[in-house]
């Protein structure tokens, strides 16, 4: 029995228990009488759609928010959590989705940040070094202590966050969407690490919206919907289908059925496209590919490997340093066509980050459906905008694309992520494009809407259009694409037909391992 | 999700500015008290001075006209994301163009002189705004810095021109000769007399009507044309503008040109309407007040007209106050105006949070929820 294992009597008491947690933000009821019990030495999954209240709950646990009602018990003792340092003192550590690391500090400096232990750093650093060596041995969490964080891969940076929490003597670790930035292999390594921590007696809370992760690593799972806990299950006794149903509140299809693609002539051709950022770093290196009528080409890759730049360059938002983009016999680069001109040629674009680029957050839904199409004659009456025609068009889009509530005058941010995305998709599809570029089709979109959006994209393919889909969700690429391009460090490292694609093979390519030579 | 932190429109556009105004007046009243005057008497004098007689109303509307033009100028740039601090200089140089046209055209027909003077005023104002706009759009020089600097350049240039070049020969004060009578904006008391109404003679003139027309045109432009739409998209989310195929540099330049042209409208009231000659420092700070007017009016023409009337009243009532109460001088009036600007413009968010919380609490307990 390793040292530090709690006495059997203590093991009966949950490491963390939430009783009747209630929280409102204005009129939004973010948490409704939530009860949650995390056993010592277990990995506990917390799953729910965006806006289900997972983040609010975890922010209460970490002391960012205070609950309106209810209590938090750590090891059976009621604990007041006013600020994150209270949570740290109670042994709760948090690994945020966006790492809280100082990029140009070394690993060691990052670990002791905030717990330097004195005015002079030397003593603290020396103490930390020995202690971290011990931790690394106990949990097999090796990290190069003297490297600068910016030079390390994301998987290692995440490991530093975990070490930071352990160094602060955390017994309860909360991980918020930890796999968003990882390749499948890195995610598997993370899960192995979590299992090890569990075996050493730590308690882990894994917050995620991915069913696969819940099934892969957790012991128990709590499902939240609309601020309330709807199920608390042992992972071995449940299935992805049951979890999805509980998350959404109705039966869902996890994968949309589709017929094999019938690709025809290429509609969009990219030749030797090279994109550099303003520092002169190559973001897209010599990309060449075609997208044909009647097929969906998926671009897979870990976030930040040039997919975004590729998409923006195709859409005309970013200028390439060299190369050609051919559409309908015209070279979009040589003619320096802007996004508006490209739309007129039948190239529509659903951007990756809709709130940053795809919509104007302060505008109503109807003002957003003309974004990019504000010059269209049917939206005008003389020099003026034809507000009534615009509203009618918006209502039509909302009806056909199941946007709820169907209120054109409502501010776009009052819609859920899924409904915003459906409206953006509607706007671009209704422009009857020949080629549709889609970035992260279902980012921040609830499961119910995912099914709908996938259906729409496949229907567009079956209507003979060419689609290019960029997604960091491998499952999505596998569900949609007929042909998969994998990007790594700006390079299209390989192309795989859907039939030959497996998560393992794509994962290796995403990590930069080139495809075995074609025999 | 967004229900939190939102006020209903009536509270946003009427209640909050009103509360801010009351707070500003309470503080100003405290200062008046410290100076040893009775705040109530001061308030009565202020109101009477601004609206107590035909004279007072005439002057209030005359000042308000200036603020409507400069407020609209600030607002239209603001919708495109440009914070134009240079309305003062643009109005000044716009006035130069207007004055030159009026002087040059001499006694030509009214239907020639006035339109050309308006065009010249707008054109010169726009030209003065173009340089900072171009620098912002193409070189990334911050519009706030460059427009402030251009105010100083405008001021120095105009002083030079009026003292050395345009001055009427044989006089001491730096001003041009009087424009031909055809260039004058009709005085409102004269206009009203024609329809049988009597109104006290004041500098209040037809430019007020033109400023309201300008407000209407700005409203149509911003909310009912695709160019205004492009302005608003760029102002709210430049990345979305690029995505939509709108080129932000062109919007930056276009919005600043319109802004400068509107600022040039100030000359209609001040030069063609009141002074009938080009004089030194005729904008008198109206370009800066326009910033407060635009902020307080939520950059909406209706709000701008309302805020301009308030500031016109403060100007006119304030000078009356300084005249009537010995312990309150002109500077004290500026302090009061400053407090109003502070609370209604710069610090309007100070009371927004408590009001929003109060509203959320009220909305929750209300049975309608």
Q: Has residue B6 got a pLDDT over 80? A: no
Residue A425 has φ and ψ, to the nearest 5°, of -65, -40
Tell me whether A27 touches chain B (CB under 8 Å). Answer: yes
pLDDT at A9: 54
Nearest-Cα residue of chain B relative to residue A382: B225
CA-CA-CA-CA torsion sign (A347, A353, A357, A362):
positive
Tell me which residues of chain A, numbers 49 to 88, contact chain B at a CB-CB cutoff of 8 Å.
51
Cβ-defined contacts of B200-204 (< 8 Å, 24+): B200/B53, B200/B54, B200/B55, B200/B58, B201/B58, B202/B54, B202/B55, B202/B58, B202/B59, B202/B62, B203/B58, B203/B59, B203/B62, B203/B273, B203/B274, B204/B57, B204/B58, B204/B59, B204/B61, B204/B62, B204/B65
- CB pair distance less than 8 Å for A363 and B4: no
> Touching check for A97 and chain B: CB below 8 Å?
no
Chain A residue with the nearest C-alpha to that of B7: A26
Identify the closest residue of chain A to B225 by CA–CA distance.
Answer: A384
- For residue B233, the model assigns a pLDDT of 96
Specify the pLDDT at position A24: 86
Which ranges of A361-500 would DSSP assign to H, the alpha helix?
365-368, 387-400, 417-429, 447-462, 474-480
Strand partners, A232: A222
| Whether A416 and B1 lie within 8 Å, measured CB to CB | yes
Count the neighbouring beta carbons within 10 Å of the beta carbon of residue B287.
29
Residues A29, A56: contact at Cβ < 8 Å?
Answer: no
Q: Do B243 and A317 touch (CB under 8 A)?
A: yes
**Does residue A444 contact residue A417 with C-beta atoms inside 8 Å?**
yes
Within 8 A of B3 by CB-CB distance, chain A residues are 26-28, 414
Q: Is A356 on the interface with B (CB under 8 A)?
A: yes
The Cα B68–Cα B301 span in angstroms is 8
Name chain B contacts of A317, Cβ cutoff 8 Å. Answer: 242-243
- Comparing CB atoms, the residue among B2, B4, B5 nearest residue A411 is B2
Q: Do B245 and A367 touch (CB under 8 A)?
A: no
B230: which chain A residues are within 8 Å (Cβ-Cβ)? 374
Q: Which residues contact A7 (CB under 8 A, 6 or more apart)?
A: none
Are the C-beta atoms of residues B94 and B125 closer than 8 Å to each other?
yes
Q: What is the mean pLDDT of residues B151-174?
A: 89
Question: Average pLDDT of chain A?
Answer: 88
Task: Say whether pLDDT at B368 is over 70.
Answer: no
> Does A357 touch chain B if contact means CB atoms closer than 8 Å?
yes
With contact defined as beta carbons under 8 Å apart, do A182 and A303 qualify? no
User: Cα separation of A159 and A162, whole Å?
Assistant: 5
Q: How far off is chain B from A410, nearest CA to CA, in Å?
A: 11
Q: How many residues does chain A have?
A: 519
Calpha distance B351→B356 (Å, rounded): 8
Is A370 within 8 Å of chain B by CB? yes
Contacts of B1 in chain A (CB under 8 A): 28, 51, 413-414, 416
Q: Which residues of A touch B360 (CB under 8 A)?
A: 26-27
* Cβ contact A383–B243 (<8 Å): no
Distance, in Å, from the CA atom of B112 to the CA atom of B46, rounded to the nearest integer, reads 41
Residue A350, CA distances (Å) to A341, A441, A486, A490, A504 in order: 16, 8, 20, 21, 28
Work out the minimum CA distance from B1 to partner chain A, whole angstroms: 6
Q: Between A247 and B227, where is the model more confident?
A: B227
Could you report the per-residue pLDDT of B264-307, keeping only the tens digit for each? Answer: 999 999 999 999 999 999 998 899 999 989 988 889 999 999 99
Q: How much is the pLDDT for B238?
A: 94
Q: How confident is the model at residue B222 (pLDDT cuts 50, 70, 90)?
A: very high
pLDDT of residue B108 exceeding 90, the answer is no
pLDDT value, residue B157: 96
Q: Decide: A226 and A52 in contact? Cβ < 8 Å.
A: yes
Cβ(A325)–Cβ(A268) under 8 Å? yes
Q: Which of A68, A357, A358 is the mutation pick for testing B, counting most B CBs within 10 A?
A: A357
Q: Is A437 on the interface with B (CB under 8 A)?
A: no
Contact A393, A379 (CB under 8 A): yes
Among chain B residues, the shortest Cα distance to A350 is held by: B243
Please indicate whether residue B131 or residue B13 has the higher confidence score (pLDDT): B131
Q: Select from B4, B224, B233 the Cβ nearest to the Cβ of A384.
A: B224
Please name the residues in contact with B281: beta carbons below 8 A apart, sequence gap of 6 or more.
B92, B155, B158
Pairing of the two strands A77-79 and A228-234? unpaired
> Are B226 and A351 an interchain contact pair (Cβ–Cβ within 8 Å)?
no
Residue A339 is encoded by which pair of tokens?
Answer: 């996004």
Confidence band of B369 (pLDDT split at 50, 70, 90): very low
Q: How far does the CA of residue B302 sit from the closest CA of chain A (Å)?
A: 20
- The ipTM of this complex is 0.82
Using a CB–CB cutoff of 8 Å, tell me whether A128 touches chain B: no
Q: What is the pLDDT of residue A324?
A: 95
Listed in sequence order, the residues at least 6 apart from A12 whose beta carbon sits closer than 8 Å to its beta carbon are none
Mutate to test the interface with B, among A308, A374, A409 (most CBs of B within 10 A): A374
Question: CA of A367: which chain B residue's CA is closest?
Answer: B229
Relative to beta strand A330-331, strand A435-439 is: unpaired
Q: Which chain B residues contact residue A357 at CB under 8 A?
A: 237, 239-240, 242-243
Q: How far is CA B369 from each of CA A28, A227, B7, B365, B366, rounded to the nearest angstrom?
A: 12, 18, 15, 7, 6
Q: What is the pLDDT of residue A519?
A: 35
Partners of residue A300 on adjacent β-strands: A486
Q: What are the structure tokens assigned to A384, written together?
A: 């003026």
Distance (Å, rounded) from C-alpha A176 to C-alpha A159? 14
Residue A292 forms beta bridges with which residues? A266
**Beta partners for residue A290, in sequence order:** A269
Calpha distance A399→A426 (Å, rounded): 10
B94: closest CA of chain A, how far (Å): 28
pLDDT of residue A418: 83
| For B242, nearest residue in chain A (alpha carbons) | A317
Cβ separation B369–A26 shorter than 8 A:
no
CB contact under 8 A, B240 and A371: yes
CB contact under 8 A, B4 and A25: yes
A439 strand-pairing partners = A470
A457 vs B365: CA distance, rounded Å: 45
Which DSSP state fits B180?
Answer: P
Output the CA torsion A336→A338→A342→A343 (10° steps).
-170
Distance, CA of B94 to chain centre: 14
Distance, in Å, from the CA atom of A208 to the CA atom of B364, rounded to the nearest integer, reads 32
Distance CA A490, CA B215 (A): 51
Which residues of chain A are under the pLDDT cut of 70?
1-11, 253-254, 515-519
Residue A361 and residue B247: Cβ atoms within 8 Å? no
Chain B residue at shortest CA distance from A368: B233
- For residue B81, the chain A residues in CB contact (below 8 A) are none
pLDDT of B170 reads: 82
Q: Which CATH class is domain A8-248?
A: alpha beta
> Of how many residues is chain B composed?
369
- The answer to whether residues A125 and A108 touch, using CB atoms and an 8 Å cutoff, is yes
- Using a CB-CB cut-off of 8 Å, the residues of chain A touching B78 are none
Q: Decide if A27 and B363 are in contact by the 8 Å CB cutoff.
A: yes
Judged by CB atoms closer than 8 Å, whether chains meet at A370 and B229 is answered as yes
Rounded Cα distance between A455 and A401, Å, is 11
Q: Which of A259, A246, A198 is nearest to A40 (CA)?
A: A198
CB contact under 8 A, A340 and B246: yes
What confidence score (pLDDT) does residue A251 get?
A: 77
> Closest chain B residue to A362 measured between Cα atoms?
B236
Per the CB < 8 A criterion, the answer to whether B283 and B266 are in contact is yes
Contact residues on chain A for B366, CB-CB shorter than 8 A: none
Fold of A266-355+432-510: Rossmann fold (3.40.50)
Check residue B147 and give left, alpha or beta (phi > 0: left; psi -120 to 50: alpha). alpha
Instruction: Give the start-end residues of each E strand in A177-265.
Output: 203-208, 220-225, 228-234
Contact predicate A63/A85, CB 8 Å? yes
Report residue B324 CA to chain centroid gap. Answer: 27
Q: What is the DSSP letter of A471?
A: -
Residue B85 in 3-state DSSP?
coil
Query: What phi and psi, each to the nearest 5 degrees, are found at residue B367?
Result: -65, -20
Same fold flag, A8-248 and A266-355+432-510: yes
This prediction's pTM: 0.81
Query: Residues of B at the A interface (Cβ-Cβ below 8 Å)?
Result: 1-6, 220, 224-226, 229-230, 232-233, 236-237, 239-240, 242-247, 360, 363-364, 369
A345 touches chain B (CB under 8 A): no
Chain B closest-CA separation from residue A318 CA (Å) = 9
Q: Is A338 near chain B, with CB under 8 Å? A: yes
Q: Provide the CB-side half-sphere exposure for B237 (13 A, CA).
A: 22
Of B226, B232, B241, which to mutate for an interface test with A (greatest number of A Cβ within 10 Å)?
B226
Residue ranges of E strands in A119-227: 172-176, 203-208, 220-225
Question: Which residues from chain B sit within 8 angstroms of residue A24, using beta carbons?
Answer: 364
Q: Give the separation between CA B227 and CA A493, rounded to whole angstroms.
A: 44
Q: Please tell me the distance in Å from A230's CA to the nearest CA on chain B.
A: 21
Which pLDDT value is given to residue A1?
43
Residue boundaries of the structural domains of chain A = 8-248, 266-355+432-510
For residue B353, give every residue at least 6 positions away whose Cβ sits within 8 Å of its Cβ, in sequence order, or none: none
């Amino acid at each position: 029995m390793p040292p530090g294992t709690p006495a059997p009597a203590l093991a009966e008491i949950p490491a963390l228990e939430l009783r009747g947690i209630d929280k409102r933000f204005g009129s939004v009821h973010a948490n409704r009488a939530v009860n949650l019990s995390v056993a010592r030495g277990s990995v506990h999954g917390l799953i729910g759609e965006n806006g289900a209240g997972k983040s609010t709950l975890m922010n209460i646990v970490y002391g960012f928010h205070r609950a309106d009602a209810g209590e938090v018990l750590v090891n059976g003792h009621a604990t007041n959590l006013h600020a994150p340092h209270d949570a740290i003192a109670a042994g709760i550590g948090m690994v945020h989705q966006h790492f809280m690391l100082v990029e140009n500090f070394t690993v060691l400096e990052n670990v002791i940040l905030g717990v330097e232990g004195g005015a002079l750093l030397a003593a603290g650093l020396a103490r930390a070094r020995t202690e971290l060596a011990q931790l690394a041995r106990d949990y097999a969490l090796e990290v190069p202590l003297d490297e600068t964080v910016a030079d390390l891969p994301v998987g290692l940076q995440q490991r530093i966050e975990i070490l930071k929490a352990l160094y602060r003597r955390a017994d309860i670790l909360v991980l918020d969407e930890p796999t968003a930035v990882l390749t499948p292999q890195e995610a598997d390594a993370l899960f192995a690490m979590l299992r090890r921590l569990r075996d050493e007696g730590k308690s882990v809370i894994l917050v995620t919206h991915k069913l696969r992760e819940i099934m892969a690593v957790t012991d128990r799972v709590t499902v939240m919907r609309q601020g309330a806990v709807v199920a608390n299950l042992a992972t071995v006794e449940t299935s992805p289908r049951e979890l999805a149903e509980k998350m959404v509140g109705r039966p869902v299809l996890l994968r949309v059925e589709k017929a094999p693609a019938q690709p025809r002539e290429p509609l969009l051709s990219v030749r030797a496209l090279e994109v550099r950022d303003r520092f002169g770093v190559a973001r897209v290196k010599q990309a060449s590919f075609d997208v044909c009528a009647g097929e969906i080409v998926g671009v897979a890759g870990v976030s930040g490997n040039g997919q975004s730049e590729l998409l923006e360059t195709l859409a005309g938002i970013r200028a390439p340093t060299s190369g050609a983009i051919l559409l309908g016999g015209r070279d979009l680069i040589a003619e320096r066509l802007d996004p508006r001109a490209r739309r007129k040629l039948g190239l529509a674009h659903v951007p990756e980050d809709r709130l940053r680029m795809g919509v104007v957050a302060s505008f109503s839904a109807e003002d957003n459906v003309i974004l990019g199409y504000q010059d269209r004659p049917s939206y005008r009456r003389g020099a003026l905008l034809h507000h009534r025609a615009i509203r009618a068009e918006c209502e039509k889009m909302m009806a056909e694309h199941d946007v709820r509530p169907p209120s054109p005058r409502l501010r776009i941010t009052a819609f859920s992520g899924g409904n915003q995305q459906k409206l953006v998709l509607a706007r671009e599809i209704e422009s009857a494009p020949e080629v549709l570029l889609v970035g992260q089709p279902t980012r921040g979109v609830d499961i119910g809407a995912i099914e709908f959006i996938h259906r729409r994209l496949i229907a567009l393919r079956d209507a003979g259009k060419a689609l290019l889909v960029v997604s960091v969700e491998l499952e999505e690429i596998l569900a949609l694409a007929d042909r998969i391009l994998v990007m790594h460090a700006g390079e299209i490292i390989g192309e795989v037909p859907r039939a030959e694609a497996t998560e393992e093979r794509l994962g290796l390519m995403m990590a930069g391992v080139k495809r075995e030579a074609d025999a | 999700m967004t229900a939190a932190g939102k006020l209903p429109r009536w509270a946003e556009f009427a209640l909050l500015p009103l509360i801010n105004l009351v707070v500003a007046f309470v503080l100003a009243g405290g200062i008046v008290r410290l100076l040893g005057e009775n705040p109530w008497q001061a308030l009565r004098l202020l109101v009477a001075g601004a609206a107590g007689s035909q004279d007072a109303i005439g002057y209030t509307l005359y000042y308000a006209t200036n603020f409507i033009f400069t407020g609209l100028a600030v607002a239209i740039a603001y919708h495109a994301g440009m914070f134009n601090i240079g309305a003062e200089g643009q109005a000044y140089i716009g006035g130069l163009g207007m004055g030159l046209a009026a002087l040059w055209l001499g006694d030509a027909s009214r239907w020639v002189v006035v339109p050309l003077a308006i065009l010249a005023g707008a054109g010169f104002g726009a030209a003065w705004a173009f340089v900072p706009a171009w620098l912002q759009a193409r070189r990334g020089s911050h519009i706030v810095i460059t427009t402030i600097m251009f105010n100083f350049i405008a001021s120095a240039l105009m002083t030079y021109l009026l003292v050395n070049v345009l001055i009427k020969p044989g006089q001491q004060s730096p001003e041009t000769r009087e424009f031909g009578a055809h260039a004058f904006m009709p005085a409102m008391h004269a206009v009203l007399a024609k329809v049988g109404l009597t109104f006290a003679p004041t500098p209040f003139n037809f430019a007020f009507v033109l400023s309201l027309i300008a407000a209407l045109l700005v409203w149509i432009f911003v909310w009912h044309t695709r160019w205004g739409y492009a302005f608003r998209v760029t102002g709210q989310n430049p990345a979305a503008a690029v995505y939509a195929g709108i080129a932000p540099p062109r919007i930056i330049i276009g919005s600043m040109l319109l802004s400068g042209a509107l600022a040039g409208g100030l000359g209609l009231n001040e030069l063609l309407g009141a002074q009938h000659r080009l004089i030194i420092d005729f904008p008198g700070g109206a370009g800066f007040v326009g910033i407060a007017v635009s902020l307080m009016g939520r950059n909406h023409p209706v709000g701008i007209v309302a805020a301009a009337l308030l500031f016109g009243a403060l100007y006119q009532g304030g000078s009356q106050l300084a005249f009537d109460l010995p312990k309150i001088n002109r500077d004290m009036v500026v302090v009061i105006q400053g407090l109003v600007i502070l609370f209604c413009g710069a610090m309007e968010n100070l009371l927004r949070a408590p009001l929003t919380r109060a509203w959320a609490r009220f909305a929750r307990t209300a049975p309608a929820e």
